Amino acid sequence: MIQDGKNKMRELPEEDINKYKLIGNAGGFSLGFCVYIAQKHTPNFFDRVVGYRIEEHGIGEMMNKAFRQAGLPEDKQKNLTVSFYEEKPIS
């Protein structure tokens, strides 16, 4: 669980994803970095976000492949993709 002082963001189980609305995705070398990128590009991110999922595929995977092809050390090939979610509006 991640806290920014007032809000809590938790890792969502895959079976619960349909209960939430996707805000966006970010790729990077750590969960903290992905949160930073997401909050820079999403209006009112910390007021909206309630959860995240670390994805197997996406920008992180593409970055790892590019780093491998460039011959970078394996410790530089651990990027990830994170999807961020907010509550679905009640309809």
In this structure, what token pair is assigned to residue 41? 């590009």
* pTM for the model: 0.78
d(CA 59, CA 65): 10
Domain ranges of the chain: 32-75
Q: Residues with Cβ < 8 Å from 29, sequence gap 6 or more?
A: 78, 79, 80
Supply the pLDDT for residue 1: 52
Determine the distance from the C-alpha atom of residue 55 to the mean position of all C-alpha atoms in its chain, rounded to a whole number.
8
Supply the pLDDT for residue 4: 53
Tens digit of pLDDT at every position of the chain (91 positions): 555 556 689 999 999 999 999 999 998 888 999 999 999 999 999 999 999 998 878 777 777 777 778 887 777 667 788 999 999 876 6
